[in-house]
Structures are given as structure tokens and as C-alpha cells.
Structure 1
Amino acid sequence: MRDITNWTSHDDTIVENAIRRGASRRELLQMMLMGGIALTAGSAILGRATSALAAEPVKGGSIKAAGFAASTADTLDPAKASNATDYVRCCNVYNRLTFLNGQGETVMELAESIESSDAKVWNVKLRKGITFHDGKSFTAEDVVFSLNRHLDPAVGSKVNAIAKQISSVKAIDESTVEITLEAPNADLPTILALHHFMIVADGTTDFSKGNGTGPFVLETFEPGVRSIVKRNENYWKDQKANLDSFEFFAISDETARMNAVLSGDIQLGANLNPRSLRVLENNPAAALFISKLGTYTNLNIRLDMAPGDKTGVAEAFKYLINRETIQKSVLRGLAEIANDHPVPDTNKYHNAELKQREYDPERAKSLLEKAGVLNQEIRITAAEAASSSLDYAMVVQQAASQIGQKVAINRVPSDGYWSNHWVKDAVHFGNINARPTPDILFSLLYKSDAAWNESGYKSEKFDSMLLEARGSLDEAKRKEIYGEMQAMVSNEAGTVIPVFMSNVDAVSPKLKGLVANPLGGMAGYSFAEYAWLEA
């Protein structure tokens, strides 16, 4: 049995999150007993965790937080947001029509209600009395403008592939919007909770001002450098932000990011590699905020570029990657084995019947030989910006060397990685944040015309199945279709997804109020609205 002295802040976080999800005292004690904690120690831990959650938020104070990537392409245009840095900043200054809470439930935000009798025509009732930071009243026209931007090719919206299902958006009156879809989609309220669907003021062209309805007002925005926001005293929610102000920037070097938390220079360092846990676990200067989200780093082999355009090359890498090594050694157990498709087992549509692909270097060798590339060097582009990708690349390189395959790691800077290498290089890594539905994942990443189609996968059958599942109100039918689509992606696409990663953020022990959120790390990137500093 373990005693309370070797129970870590990571374990405290797990217990606190379980309480937030509604776990009973009996369930929590059983969980700790399975982890080797004595009953008396477990009761003490429960008391401590319950007290932490019951603590009253404190108003005031300022914090600094650091993400892992920044560039001059940083944007406050939610339609163009493409990474965690953009998402955090957009969450500071804007709101969405809906929001996903910590339990993964879709709740209303700027919308008062969203209803439909056929999943095709949706009536959206908006909250009244809300103003933008510049004093302009929030109306239906702002929603119409914001949603239509995703349909305009000139905007370059990152969710254009998803938004294309919208055939019209019109204002019925100042507080009512009607959204008509090309075909029924029961997931629309959840889709509108994505970060890209933040609502901006009608006619906005200068997004550097960050004029939204959100919890903070923008003071400074320097792309590639930093942003500073202050609390919106006119925020429409009864519970306004607790913090007076918040500064966000990037520290690309992970060790430097971790040390900044330990020294107290910042109060949150985002997305740390699990190897950092050795330093952080028993250090009183930092706590761990761990979220199991369905996030993953994947190896992408473009099917329309050499060498991936040769039959069997992409499949070979799926057998060549050692998933258990990544799970246990690279990620120190903070991961779940994946099967080369993006739907985790926490999702109700997960295909549990799909046979797990095993590590089989000899089979990989055979496929590479048949493709005629075994004696050719294959370059894999990796960067710290794609979490743990350099470690993954070395795991692949080592396995490849054992079968005579030459693999070179093309290490590039994090700055500019997403605009210069991701989706573009022949073999490269991605880092995909969790999404709440298979429809969103498949629409963003695997639909033939998706902007984020990382391996250039194209299948008319897949595209038609996507539409069929989206429009069905039969849950059993949807599960069947999504199950087959997972198998298609696993077997046909050029995306190698070895594990689903737990997200690890290092935080000051005084930073409270963080709740895991299915939309990503840093509490779904919305942590600043709910966080507070212990006195």
C-alpha cells in the first residue's frame, strides 16, 4: 500500500477532476484502493480535494502564461485560428453561441436556445443586453456576419469544410437567427462550440483590436511576441473573470517553459512533455494539470507525394511505429493506445470491434521492399511545435534502422512550422486537438476537400458516408457508419496515430479554478476566464 506521503499533485488533480465529473465518495475510494492507497489515507486525500474545490475564488491579481508556439502569423481572427496560441487569445476576448463544459455537455453561451424539429432548419434565440468591448450592442446581424465569413473563400476560414453545410443564415429579428443547412445535422449546436465559431462584430475587418463580447478586453497584441488583456468589467455573465489581467506569450523551449513555472516567472506553462514529470512531480513550486482529451500527435505520409504515393508505404509506417514504446517510455504512461483513426474510446461512436494494429517491423519491411523504397532515405519533418514529435521520430528511426530502412529526421524550428511544413511536407508530424464529434474530426481532417487533410486522403465513398451519418437521427445507424469510417481511415489514410495523449500543463500551486475540458489543454484554452489566484 502507498501512503499519503508519496501521493503527488498529479494524483490530486485526478481526484479533483473525478469529483467535478460527479463521482461518488465510494467510487473515489475504490479508485484509490486500486492505486494502492490505504483507506485512511484515501479519506484524507478526499477531504483535501473536496476542500480545494469548495474554496471561494479570489478576485484580483495578474498572471502570466506561456504556450509552446508563436509566430508573426498569430491572429485574433477566430476563423483563421490554427493553434493553441490563437485559441487562448480568442477565448479571452470573444464568446461562442454555445460552449462545451467540463463534462463534454453542450451548453448555451451567447445563444439562449438553439432548436430544430428536423435538424436542418435551426432557430437560434440570442441573449439580450450584451455589448461588445467598443460599446456596440450584440445583435443577430453579428451572428449572420460571423457565420457567413466561414463560407467566403477569400476569408480562408480553417473550418470552411465544416461550414459549407450551411446554406443560409438570416436574421429574423434583432435577437433571432435562422440557420438552414444543406442537409440535416443533429450535431450543429456542438459544432458551434468550436473555437473558430467565435462571434465577432458585424463588418469587422481589423481583428488586431480583438473587439468581442468576452471576459477580457485587449490592451496589447504583438503577433509572435505577446498579448495582454484586462478584465471586462461590463462582461455579460454574472460571474466575471476573477483575474485583473492576463499576459500570454510563447516559450518554445520546453525546459525553459517548465523552469519559468518553477521560478514563479509564469503561473502556467502549457503542454509539457511527460518526461518533465520527473522534475515536477514532487516539487512544491509547481502542480500538474492533466487532462485526458483525445489529443494526438500523428505522423502524416502524403498519399499524393513521394514516397507516400507508392502503394504500401503509408501502411508500412503504421506497422513500423512501436505504440507501446511511445505510450510507456516516451509518454510515461500518460497515453492510451490508438489505432490510426482519430476517435478515442471515450467517444460513444468509437469502433471497439476494429482489430488493433500491432508493431510488426518485418511486415513493414516487406511493404517497403514491394514499394521499392527500402534503400532510399525517407525524411521526416518534426518540430517541438508538434508535441513529442521529435521523440516519436526517433522511435520510428530506430525501428527503421533494424530493417534496413534509412530515415532522416528533418528538425525544423517551431516558429512557422504550421504555416510552412504542416500539411505540406511529404512526411511530417501534426498535433491535433480533441474534437467532440466524429463528424467534426472527419470533416476537418479526412473529407476530400478539407483544408487540414493531412495526408491528402480522398474517397468519394467516405465523403458520402459522412453526409449519411450526419443527417441520420437513428443513433444505431450513426454508430455503424462511423465505425466503418474509422476502419477506412485506419486502413486507407496516410495518418499514423499511435496513441491518444494526456495533456500536461504545469501550473503554480496558487493557480486555482482549472477544470479539464474536451476542447483541449489549458482547460479548453478558456482557463483565464475561470482561474483565480489563491491569496
Structure 2
Amino acid sequence: MIGRRGAIRLIGGGGLSLGLGACGFEPARPEPVGGRLRVAVAVSSTADTMDPARQTVITDFCRCAMVYDGLTKLDQYFKPQPALAEAIETGDARDWSIRLRKGVRFHDGSPLTVADVLYSLRRHLDPAVGSKAKVFADQFASVRADGPDRVRIVLNSANADLPTILGIAQFQIVRDGTRDFSKPVGTGPMRMIEFQPGIRSLTARYDEYWRGPIRLGECELFAISDDSARINALLSGDVDLINAINPRIARHMRDAGFGLLETKSSGYTDLIMRMDRPPGDNPDFVAGMKLLLDRETMRSAIFRGYATIANDQPIAPSNPYYDPSVPQRPFDPERARFHFKRAGMIGARMPIVTSTAADKSDDMAVLIQDAGQRAGIGFDIRRVPSDGYWTNSWMKVPLGFGNTNPRPTADIIFTQFFASNALWNESAWKNARFDRLLDAARGETDEARRKSLYGEMQHLVHDQAGIGIPLFISSLDAFSPRVKGLRPMPQGGLMGYDFAAHVWLEGK
């Protein structure tokens, strides 16, 4: 045990203290207004899900945020705040006690119980569930009841970020025994009225919501994958809110009288070179590809300045654990030619797979293709539909793109995308030293030492992993002047996918 003083210091770095449960998220909610908000997003498919554990794409995140709550909720600073848990306590970052909020009811009227939380957390360990958070649940040594309103989680080893981890979308709470998610029931601010995967959903305000009813009456959510069609739907008044605005038309939207929400984030579109197959299994090919990323041109020409230069490390400069000592990788086609020659790739042609599902990967690939001509290598751009991209192409092709939403902590992004056993280890990079550093950083309570560990991990990813991260991309959403209450949240666009709980329609 590290004692009371140590516990407060540790919790201050990412946990909840005993007294925090009495603090509110926000001021008292104004009276409900009503109205139906119509929202069109860029990506959807028949694989859309209302199972929180399986959330992958924006439609999942938005819908699940309407219907479910987590034990904690991340605020505008990526800090965990109490939600279904009133308080979370620990003395050593390994043994955690969670006190549940009283008076919470599911949409069917049943009360929230310890059994619901136990079921929700334990199901991530079942491989048949296909949880996207299993890599975190695997850290649970035990999850058990500790009285009528308490849950006790004991970890295999200390992790000071557990309250933050419990705030990620996949750990939202469902009813005990739920297996059919076609008609989902949660404790969240809206009830599901209709859910047709790949088509649309309709939710309505839950008037008995434990925080108090939200202002919005209904929300209809669907996808329009074509950028021009999505813009035209907003311009014509057919929808009220859209995401994934092309930066090239951002000024036009403002000039036309529509609102524009820029969310500066740590999300990115990355170039993926699979290291478990040729040519990505050749370190010189990987090194050459990273040198073909013209970051400045991508930022100015593709994103019109709505982006921050990145450096093939997934930790953004805004993160307290960002390591500025990682040397900035230049755009250098001539040096890339040297590496391609050593790899025996001069004169070779290979496909590079893109999709609108991976934001602006089409445009990035064109710049890479042009740079490749100077480096002695050719690329055939193969554009595939957004529908099914994440299932059929992502992490399955030798050379392609990913699209990573912001993550609240260094541990979460390293665990989900770079650990050897990570479900989303995009380039199949495996490094035993990195894995050991990740384990050590989780339980480290000395902030200077923890920052040093994360710094070394960033160097390893930058130097060895089969990904290129050229930019951290701002999310751009556009909306009708009738839509009120939108504000940036670091979790991503559309207020970190939680817009429905906060916005309202003027005049309704």
C-alpha cells in the first residue's frame, strides 16, 4: 500500500478521489426543448452495432453514447469524472473499490445493480463477445461484488489509469445477461426507438435520466458517404448536422451562414505497412516509405491548415507525455531511394489501398505516389468503398491506411495499437522491450519516471513500427444555425460523439 498521501498523488494523475463523487459534471440542465435532430455521418455499414464492447466506427460511438453510460465519463480535459460510479478509490493502483450511484434506472425501469456492472465488465473476457477492449479487461485479475453497492476490481499489476480506461466507450454498462442488442436498453440520455444497421437509427429523450432530461427530443442518425451529397443535404435543410467536412470547403460553409466546429485532436490517418508479409517485413522498405510522407504539403494542401505536423509517434504535442526529443523525420525521396535500393525495390510497383473511411487517405496516397516516382518506386492506388473497409481491407492488405480516433492516455493508445498482443496492432509490429516498458509505465507513480518510460516507447515506435503518422487531424463538423450547444471535445468530432446529450434546436 502506498498510503493516503501517495493515493491522492496517484489518483490526481488520472483517477477519482473519495470526495469527487459529490461533484457534478456540469450546471443544472435547462428545461427540455424537443425537436428532432437529423444527423448525417460519413461512414456506416451493416456491421454497425449497439453492443458497447464491439464499438468500432463513428456510428457505433454516437449511438452507444446516446443509449448507455459508463462508470466514469471523460471530460473536456480527458480526465475521468463520476458517472454510474459515484467514487473510485485505491491505495496502490492495483486494488480498486467502486461505489455505484443510487437511483439509476435502465430504460425499461429496472434499477442499476452490482450484477449489471459485473456482467458488463466480465463479458469483455469472453472471446466469443469480440470485445474491442479485451486487451484492457485482460488486466483484471478479479471483478467481484463488495457489498450491495460496490464492485471491487483487482488488477494483475498496478495501473493508475484504470478510472480513465473505464471511461472509454467499450466499457459502457448493459443489463445483466444481455445478449441481443437489436433492441438495446441502457441507462443513457436517450432510448432507442429504431435501429437498422447500415441504414438509420432513431432515439428519443429518456425523461427519467438520472442526470435529468436532456433538451433534445429525438435524434435520427444515418450515413451519407459521398462528401458532396452530405454537404448538399445540409445546405438544402434535409439534415441539421454533418461530420467529416472537407477542409477545402470550410470557408464556403461559414460564408453560407452555417456553423463550423473545429476539434483539434490527437486523431490521425496513418500509413500502414504490414510487417508480417512482404515487402513490409523488410526494414529498409518501411524506412523508405516513411520518408515519402510530405507532411507540410499534406497539412497545407489537403487539410488547409486544420492539422498539426506529426512524427510517426502516436502521442500528440498536447499530451503531457509527448517526447520532443524524437527527431523529426523529414520528407526525403532521395534518402528513400537509398532504402528502396537496399530492399531490392527500385522499379517495383505495388498497390496502396485507400478509402474515404480513412480520412483523406485518397489524397495522401496521391502525394505518396508522386514522391515514389522520385524515389524509384511505383504505386497503384486502389480506392475501395467505405462500406466494409474496416472489415475487409484494414490490417489485411500489405500497404494501406488506418484512421485512429483520439485516445485519452498514452497507455490506452499504446495498449490498443502497439503492444504485441494488441487487437488493433495495425502493422503487426512486435517488440519485447516495448511490452516491458508498457507494463512498467502502468504502475509507475513517479511522474518523471513514467514520462521517461513513455518517451522511450515513442522512440521505439518512431524508429521501428510499420506505421507512418504524418499529421494529427482536426475534426470538422458543420451544422445548421438552428443547432445550439455544440463545443469541441478532445475525444473527437461531434463533441466526442456525445452531441445528443448536449445540443438543442432553436425554436423547438
Q: TM-score, normalised by structure 2?
A: 0.93
Q: CA deviation at 1:273?
A: 2.1
Q: CA deviation at 1:278?
A: 4.0
Residue 424 (structure 1) aligned to one of 363, 382, 396:
396
| Residue aligning to 1:440 | 412
| Residue aligning to 1:228 | 202
Report matched runs for 1:475-490 at 5 Å: 475-490=447-462
CA RMSD of superposed structures (Å): 1.4
Tell me how far apart the structure 1 counterparts of residues 227 and 166 of structure 2 sit (CA, whole Å): 33
After superposition, the C-alpha distances for 1:236-287 in whole angstroms (9 at most, x for unaligned) are 113x211110000101011111111111111111122212214213111x11
Q: Which runs of 5+ in 2 are unaligned?
A: 1-26
After superposition, the C-alpha distances for 1:158-211 in whole angstroms (9 at most, x for unaligned) are 111122111111111231000110000000001111111110011001011111
| Corresponding position: 1:145 with 2:143 | no
| Residue aligning to 2:324 | 352
| Corresponding position: 1:246 with 2:203 | no
| Secondary structure of residue in 1 paired with 2:450 | helix
| Residue aligning to 2:23 | none
| Corresponding position: 1:268 with 2:241 | yes
After superposition, the C-alpha distances for 1:94-130 in whole angstroms (9 at most, x for unaligned) are 0011111123222111100011000001000000111
- State the one-letter code of the partner of 1:138: L
| Corresponding position: 1:255 with 2:228 | yes
Q: Is the 8 A contact 2:334 2:374 kept in 1?
A: no
- State the one-letter code of the partner of 1:461: R
| Residue aligning to 2:353 | 381
Tell me how far apart the structure 1 counterparts of residues 153 and 490 of structure 2 sit (CA, whole Å): 25
Residue 87 (structure 1) aligned to one of 61, 64, 76:
61
Q: Is the 8 A contact 1:100 1:517 kept in 2?
A: no
Report matched runs for 1:361-510 at 5 Å: 361-510=333-482
| Secondary structure of residue in 2 paired with 1:207 | coil
Q: CA deviation at 1:446?
A: 0.4
| Corresponding position: 1:318 with 2:290 | yes
Q: Is the 8 A contact 1:307 1:378 kept in 2?
A: no
What is the total number of aligned residue pairs between the two structures? 481
Q: Is the 8 A contact 1:229 1:247 kept in 2?
A: yes
| Corresponding position: 1:69 with 2:37 | no
After superposition, the C-alpha distances for 1:423-478 in whole angstroms (9 at most, x for unaligned) are 11111110000001110000000000111000001011111100000011010000
Tell me how far apart the structure 1 counterparts of residues 45 and 148 of structure 2 sit (CA, whole Å): 38
Residue 211 (structure 2) aligned to one of 199, 224, 237:
237
Tell me how far apart the structure 2 counterparts of residues 275 and 337 of structure 1 sit (CA, whole Å): 18
Runs of 4+ in structure 1 displaced over 6 angstroms? 55-58
After superposition, the C-alpha distances for 1:325-378 in whole angstroms (9 at most, x for unaligned) are 011111000110001011001100000111111111111111011101222212
| Residue aligning to 2:9 | none
Tell me how far apart the structure 2 counterparts of residues 89 and 282 of structure 1 sit (CA, whole Å): 31
- State the one-letter code of the partner of 1:339: N
Q: CA deviation at 1:56?
A: 6.6
Q: Is the 8 A contact 2:444 2:450 kept in 1?
A: yes
| Residue aligning to 2:15 | none
| Residue aligning to 1:335 | 307
Q: Is the 8 A contact 1:273 1:387 kept in 2?
A: no
Tell me how far apart the structure 1 counterparts of residues 30 and 259 of structure 2 sit (CA, whole Å): 19
Q: TM-score, normalised by structure 1?
A: 0.88
| Corresponding position: 1:105 with 2:79 | yes
- State the one-letter code of the partner of 1:520: G
- State the one-letter code of the partner of 2:226: D
Tell me how far apart the structure 1 counterparts of residues 490 and 123 of structure 2 sit (CA, whole Å): 25
| Residue aligning to 2:89 | 115
Q: CA 1:309/1:257 → structure 2, altered by over 3 Å: closer, same or farther?
A: same
Tell me how far apart the structure 1 counterparts of residues 442 and 30 of structure 2 sit (CA, whole Å): 42
Tell me how far apart the structure 1 counterparts of residues 170 and 423 of structure 2 sit (CA, whole Å): 14
| Corresponding position: 1:173 with 2:128 | no
Q: CA deviation at 1:87?
A: 0.4
| Secondary structure of residue in 1 paired with 2:178 | coil
- State the one-letter code of the partner of 2:409: T
| Secondary structure of residue in 1 paired with 2:195 | strand
- State the one-letter code of the partner of 2:169: H
| Secondary structure of residue in 1 paired with 2:267 | strand
Q: CA deviation at 1:57?
A: 7.2
After superposition, the C-alpha distances for 1:365-419 in whole angstroms (9 at most, x for unaligned) are 1101110122221211110011111011111011112222110111000000001
| Residue aligning to 1:39 | none
Tell me how far apart the structure 1 counterparts of residues 372 and 44 of structure 2 sit (CA, whole Å): 33
| Secondary structure of residue in 2 paired with 1:294 | coil
- State the one-letter code of the partner of 2:34: G
Q: Is the 8 A contact 1:58 1:534 kept in 2?
A: no
Tell me how far apart the structure 1 counterparts of residues 349 and 140 of structure 2 sit (CA, whole Å): 45
Tell me how far apart the structure 2 counterparts of residues 273 and 171 of structure 1 sit (CA, whole Å): 49
| Secondary structure of residue in 1 paired with 2:474 | strand
Q: Is the 8 A contact 1:339 1:498 kept in 2?
A: yes
Q: Is the 8 A contact 1:141 1:174 kept in 2?
A: no
Tell me how far apart the structure 1 counterparts of residues 269 and 394 of structure 2 sit (CA, whole Å): 12
Q: Percent identity?
A: 46
Q: Is the 8 A contact 2:32 2:217 kept in 1?
A: no
| Secondary structure of residue in 1 paired with 2:266 | strand
| Secondary structure of residue in 1 paired with 2:421 | coil
Tell me how far apart the structure 2 counterparts of residues 230 and 290 of structure 1 sit (CA, whole Å): 27
Q: Is the 8 A contact 1:81 1:196 kept in 2?
A: yes
Tell me how far apart the structure 2 counterparts of residues 172 and 283 of structure 1 sit (CA, whole Å): 57
- State the one-letter code of the partner of 2:159: N
| Secondary structure of residue in 1 paired with 2:230 | helix
Tell me how far apart the structure 1 counterparts of residues 148 and 199 of structure 2 sit (CA, whole Å): 39
| Corresponding position: 1:160 with 2:122 | no
- State the one-letter code of the partner of 1:457: W
